[in-house]
Structures are given as C-alpha cells and as structure tokens.
C-alpha cells in the first residue's frame, strides 16, 4: 500500500506558549565532522546534545504550503553543543539478547540493530526500489536546489541501515540529510551532508518543527505507539511545499486472489504457516505497544488531515516465495523469501 500527496495552505496550530519540551536527541554527525586532537581512534562520529540515555507496504507523501515560516513552529531548544562519540557512549546504545545486538533505548521496537539486520535491510531496500521505484514522482521537484540561500533538508525516521537517506544525500549533495533511529548509524561511508541522530520518535518531533522539505518513514509501525499522532507531528515538521513519503505493512498474509488468509484461532497451529507466524508477530508487536493497524488506516489518516492534499495511495502485492511464472515476479519472490527467512531469524 502506498500513497503520497500535498498539504493545504493552512497555517499550523500555534505551539503552546511555553514552547516545546527541551528534550534533545543524541545527534551523531557524519564521519567527516571535525574531531579534536584528543579524540581517540574509536571516535568516528560526534554527538551533539547531552550525554545519552536518562505484505503490502503503504507510503504517503505531502507538501506543506504555509504562507509564511511561522516562528512558533520552531523548536525553543538552544543549539546543542558537540560531544565526542566515544566507545563507551556507543556501547550504551546497545544491549545483547540471544546473540544479537538490540537498541537500549526503546522497549517497543525489538528487532536487532546489528550487521546481520543491516545487511537484510540493505537487500530489502534494493528490492523495494525495483518494485516501487526509488522515489515518488514529486520528490525531485521538492528536493531540487533551485532557491539560493535555502538548502533543502530531508529527514528519515527509523532509518535502519541508512541505505535510503544516504542515497538521497549523495544524489542531492547541497541538501542537509538527517537519519533518526534508536541506535547510531554505523556506516563508514556516510556522506558529509548526512548526519545520524539517536532519538525515540515516540517522544515527539517538536525539535524538528518547520525544518524539513521531505520526511520519509518505512516499516516503522511496530515501534510506534501512536501512528496517527506521528502524522500530526510530521505535518508540522514539513516546510511549505514539503513532501511526506511513508510505507507500512499490515502483518497479514494473502492468497493469489488478494484475499486475506486467516490464521487458526482454535489453539491448533496448522498450515499455512506464514500467515500463522505473521499473526504471532502481530500479537507480539501489539503487546509491546506497536501500531500494528497503521497500514490499514494510513490512507485515511493522511487524506483526512487538513494539512495534506493531493494524496496518492498505492498498494504493492509482493509474492512471499517464487511461485509465480512471470520471470520478474519469480525473482522478486526469491528476494522476498530470503528477506522473510532472515527476518524470522531476527
């Protein structure tokens, strides 16, 4: 399921006069950032802010066309200072369970954050590009550097391995790209115009209000408590003319006629196994607080939001194994089966 659109020209509601909370994320600059002579070899990145830690996809994009840049939209937080990213800070970002590295920041999102998972996400990213295309049609118009003195900015929420945001940074070198996740990105090839920030999206995005031309999120619903509220935050993060591009999956399996395959509910586990496994996954994510119904409601949430317009919604049906005779979809089925098996190990 996929969609994109443009927002209306309504001014955002005024932020509370007290201003947004002063919570600030842990911000990891790109590896190109200047480091002091005292930084050890491990300090490949830097940190701004305070020391840390007190089936079917659907995507939406939108433009914000507010008549003016409302100062009330901006974060009241002062500019953060720069801290060196040391090995001890990096270790604090992770915990280890069953031989895998997980984030140490959120109890809601429980997938690994290690090399094995990042390799899976990199391959998944390439598969999605083949099936859906790299960007929605309005993307280049929004990100094109055509206004002197106004560099474009792109935000990736739940960036994972960072494949998507780093491609944007390389293709639009004059833009500023920010990758947000529960752990720092580990890439040694991060472009100089891209930085990684450690933050929990569930705590709010007030510090980003009015800062970005594009906001992207892909398959993050299992780690989001209030997805409808997240869309409201994103509507305020976007600049006038901004684009929202989000994609989610509904944790269900379907047959060749696109009919949902219902798992057994009588306590007897039986085939087909993939929909049954997805049902267990859905329950587990829901019990942890994840918004497992986000894909089902995504279109309505964005279409009915007063700041979004020209919303385009698409559904993509991807085979979970190579059972189709068409060579293209047979290859995609092979890729998806590999992704599923690696996902199960996670």
For residue 243, what are the CA distances in angstroms to 141, 179, 234, 302?
10, 16, 10, 12
**C-alpha dihedral over 106, 109, 110, 114, to 10 degrees?**
-90
Range with lowest mean pLDDT among 47-56, 181-190, 207-216, 229-238 = 47-56
Query: Is 66 contained in some domain?
Result: yes
| Segment 59-109, tens digit of pLDDT | 555 555 443 333 333 333 334 444 445 555 566 676 777 777 666 666 787
Q: What is the rounded CA–CA span in Å between residue 93 and residue 101?
A: 10
Query: Is 278 contained in some domain?
Result: no
Please give the pLDDT value at position 44: 31
Please give the pLDDT value at position 120: 94
End-to-end CA distance of the chain: 24
Q: Which residues pair with 156 in a beta bridge?
A: 179, 216
pLDDT bracket for residue 306 (50, 70, 90): very high
Contact 49, 75 (CB under 8 A): no
Please give the pLDDT value at position 206: 96
Query: Is 330 contained in some domain?
Result: no
| Segment 209-257, tens digit of pLDDT | 999 999 999 999 999 999 999 999 999 999 989 999 999 999 999 998 9
The pair of three-digit structure tokens given for residue 62, joined into one six-digit string: 């939108």
| Segment 111-154, tens digit of pLDDT | 777 889 999 999 999 999 999 999 999 999 999 987 778 899 99
Burial letters for 295-307: b for 16+ Cβ neighbours within 10 Å, e otherwise? bbbbbebbbebeb
Query: Is 171 contained in some domain?
Result: yes
Q: Is the pLDDT of residue 276 over 90?
A: yes
% of residues, the chain, pLDDT over 90 = 57
Query: Is 274 contained in some domain?
Result: no
Domain of 47, CATH number, reads 3.40.50.150
Average pLDDT over residues 325-341: 97
Q: Is the pLDDT of residue 14 over 70?
A: no
Can you tell me which residue has the tokens 């994840």? 290
Please give the pLDDT value at position 220: 96
Cα 261-266-269 angle, rounded to 5 deg: 65
Sequence-distant (≥ 6) Cβ neighbours of residue 70 within 8 angstroms: 11, 12, 14, 210
Q: What is the rounded CA–CA span in Å between residue 130 and residue 58?
A: 16
Average pLDDT over residues 19-48: 39
Please give the pLDDT value at position 39: 40
Query: Is 100 contained in some domain?
Result: yes
The pair of three-digit structure tokens given for residue 4, joined into one six-digit string: 């994109």
Contact 176, 193 (CB under 8 A): yes
Residue 269 vs residue 302, higher pLDDT: 302
Q: What is the rounded CA–CA span in Å between residue 166 and residue 125?
A: 12
- Model confidence, pTM: 0.78
Domain hosting residue 93, numbered range:
2-250+293-315
Average pLDDT over residues 191-201: 93
Query: Is 47 contained in some domain?
Result: yes
Q: How many domains does the chain have?
A: 1
């Amino acid at each position: 399921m996929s969609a994109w659109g443009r927002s209306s020209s309504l001014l955002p509601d005024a932020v509370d006069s007290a201003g947004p909370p002063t919570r600030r994320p842990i911000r990891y600059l790109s590896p190109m950032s200047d480091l002091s002579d005292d930084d050890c070899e491990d300090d490949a990145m830097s940190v701004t802010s305070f020391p840390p830690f007190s089936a079917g996809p659907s995507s939406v994009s939108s433009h914000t066309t507010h008549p003016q840049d409302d100062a009330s939209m901006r974060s009241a937080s002062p500019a953060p200072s720069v801290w060196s990213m040391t090995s001890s800070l990096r270790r604090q970002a992770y915990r280890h369970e069953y031989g895998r590295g997980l984030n140490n920041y959120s109890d809601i999102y429980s997938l690994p954050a290690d090399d094995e998972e990042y390799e899976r996400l990199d391959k998944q990213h390439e598969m999605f590009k083949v099936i859906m295309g790299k960007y929605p049609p309005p993307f280049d118009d929004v990100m094109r550097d055509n206004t002197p003195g106004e560099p474009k900015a792109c935000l990736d929420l739940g960036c994972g391995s960072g494949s998507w945001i780093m491609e944007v940074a390389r293709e639009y070198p004059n833009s500023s790209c920010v990758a947000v996740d529960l752990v720092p990105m580990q890439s040694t090839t991060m472009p100089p115009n891209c930085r990684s920030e450690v933050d929990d999206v569930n705590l709010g995005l007030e510090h980003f209000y009015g800062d970005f031309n594009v906001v992207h999120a892909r398959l993050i619903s299992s780690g989001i408590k209030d997805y409808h509220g997240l869309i409201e935050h994103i509507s305020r993060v976007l600049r006038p003319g901004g684009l929202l591009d989000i994609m989610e999956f509904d944790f269900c399996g379907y047959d060749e006629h696109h009919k949902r395959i219902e798992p057994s509910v009588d306590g007897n586990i039986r085939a087909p196994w993939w929909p049954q496994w997805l049902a267990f996954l859905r329950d587990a994510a829901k019990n942890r607080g994840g918004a497992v119904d986000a894909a089902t409601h995504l279109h309505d949430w964005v279409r009915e939001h007063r700041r979004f317009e020209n919303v385009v919604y698409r559904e993509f049906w991807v085979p979970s194994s190579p059972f189709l005779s068409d060579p293209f979809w047979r290859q995609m089925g092979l890729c998806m089966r590999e992704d599923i098996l690696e996902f199960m190990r996670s």
